[in-house]
Amino acid sequence: MRVLSGIQPSGDYLHIGNYLGALRQFVALQEEHEILVFIADYHSMNAVRDGAARREFTRSVALDYLACGLDPARAMLFRQSDIPEVAELSWLLSTVTPMGLLERAHAYKDKLAQGQSADHGLFAYPVLQAADILLYRSDLVPVGQDQKQHVEMCRDIAQRFNHTYGEDLLVVPEPLIPEEAALVPGTDGRKMSKSYGNAIAMFASRKEIKKAVMSIVTDSTPVEAPKDTATPLFQLWSLFASADEKREFFARAGEGGLGYGDVKKDLLERLLAYFEPMRERREALAARPDEVEDVLVDGVQRARAIATPVLEACRQAAGLGRG
Ligand code: ADP
Ligand code: TRP
């Protein structure tokens, strides 16, 4: 199976939702599958309008990938824009993509609902994402729940293109959503997201992580009373505990006597311990930027070898170029 996914360089940190929803799966999948993981810098142009910032964020995501355990000997790690052919495939696909399909996309609908006007880039975003997936004939796309719709649109677009130009041209992919961390809650209980300001950054300082953990919403249930474990604090806690620990802890919560402050302290220690080895790896790598760049150069060469014949077959089938 060929696996592919990407994360946008849209800020200076990734958060634990990105890790549990996406990155952790990439790392697990590299053991058994061919995997391509890219930095979606073209996509980030919808949100980040500063070139220098994008370069910095791109470097930061590359470090995150390596720090989290993606192994460049197995995974192909690359910058999306280093294979600009994806923009050509995006055009080909856009000619078979109904307006109605794109009008139903969440990111676009949300923007309109907020009363903001959208650019064509945001409207066409799912087509570029489809091109990312289809250019490499990917079978599986590991993403968090919020990206499921985009993969479904990609399936629809691939089927339409195949139907028009040739049934075996493009592989119709499947999304892979992690069961236990499909939608990691943020400190305010909504989906954890960079854009909501409710995120716990993976590699922030102890002080910042503590501040975020302490700000997780709770109610005013007194210490002695039983606690509802279907709440963001307990959900977050359980993402860093084993099944046995969870059973025991949730039973204690049900009996009462467990204060929210203690749960937060325990969560903080678990979080810091969990990410510490990755943090150390990240710091070491940050001091060797040339090595990180070499990884991306090698990754893009291997990825291009897959992409070139796929695009060429699509061009031929569509009667483009010399023939
Ligand atoms: P953000 O919403 O913070 O901007 P992105 O859209 O860049 O995050 O997401 C990158 C990857 O991380 C995607 O695969 C996405 O599904 C996953 N992801 C983001 N937030 C969460 C979350 N709260 N829970 C689970 N997965 C998430
Ligand atoms: N849209 C994805 C996000 O915001 C990033 C992305 C771009 C992606 N192209 C992709 C994810 C292809 C999976 C496959 O998180």
Shared domain for 101 and 233, answered yes or no, is no
**Letter for the amino acid at 2?**
R
What's the pTM?
Answer: 0.96
Shared domain for 108 and 239, answered yes or no, is no
Name all residues whose Cβ lies below 6 A of ligand 2.
4-8, 40, 43, 129, 132-133, 141, 143, 147, 150
Q: Average pLDDT, stretch 281-302?
A: 98
Identify the active-site residue in 109, 148, 194, 207.
Answer: 194
Shared domain for 81 and 173, answered yes or no, is yes
Residue 265 catalytic? no
- CA 14 to ligand 1: nearest atom: 3
Residue with CA closest to ligand 2 atom 2: 7
Q: Average pLDDT, stretch 152-163?
A: 98
Residue 48 has pLDDT above 90, yes or no: yes
Residue 181 has pLDDT above 90, yes or no: no
Shared domain for 47 and 152, answered yes or no, is yes
The CATH number of residue 15's host domain is 3.40.50.620
Asked if residues 311 and 89 have their Cβ atoms less than 8 Å apart, the reply is: yes
CA distances from 14 to 6, 86, 124, 192, 201 (A): 13, 25, 24, 11, 6
Shared domain for 9 and 95, answered yes or no, is yes
Residue with CA closest to ligand 2 atom 14: 5
Residue 44 has pLDDT above 90, yes or no: yes
Has residue 192 been placed in a domain? no
Residue 194 catalytic? yes
Has residue 190 been placed in a domain? no
Shared domain for 126 and 270, answered yes or no, is no
Label residue 104 by pLDDT band (50, 70, 90). Answer: very high
Look at the chain and report how many structural domains it folds into: 2
Distance CA 207, CA 72 (A): 32
What pLDDT does 214 receive? 97
Shared domain for 137 and 269, answered yes or no, is no
- Which ligand is nearest to the Cα of residue 148, counting in written order? 1
What pLDDT does 99 receive? 98
Shared domain for 18 and 65, answered yes or no, is yes
The boundaries of the domain holding residue 215 are 203-283
What pLDDT does 247 receive? 96
What pLDDT does 323 receive? 80
List, in order, residues 6 or more apart from 89 with CB less than 8 Å away: 131, 134, 135, 310, 311, 314
Length of the chain as a residue count: 323
Shared domain for 67 and 85, answered yes or no, is yes
Shared domain for 41 and 164, answered yes or no, is yes
Has residue 196 been placed in a domain? no
> What is the CA(298)–ligand 2 centre distance, in A?
21
Mutational test site, ligand 2, from 2, 3, 7, 89, max ligand atoms within 8 Å of CB: 7
Has residue 54 been placed in a domain? yes
Has residue 31 been placed in a domain? yes
Has residue 191 been placed in a domain? no
Label residue 218 by pLDDT band (50, 70, 90). Answer: very high
Shared domain for 59 and 129, answered yes or no, is yes
Residue 290 has pLDDT above 90, yes or no: yes
Distance CA 31, CA 70 (A): 10
Shared domain for 179 and 208, answered yes or no, is no
Has residue 162 been placed in a domain? yes
Residue 297 has pLDDT above 90, yes or no: yes
Higher local confidence (pLDDT), 111 or 80 = 80
Residue with CA closest to ligand 1 atom 3: 193
The CATH number of residue 220's host domain is 1.10.240.10
Has residue 83 been placed in a domain? yes
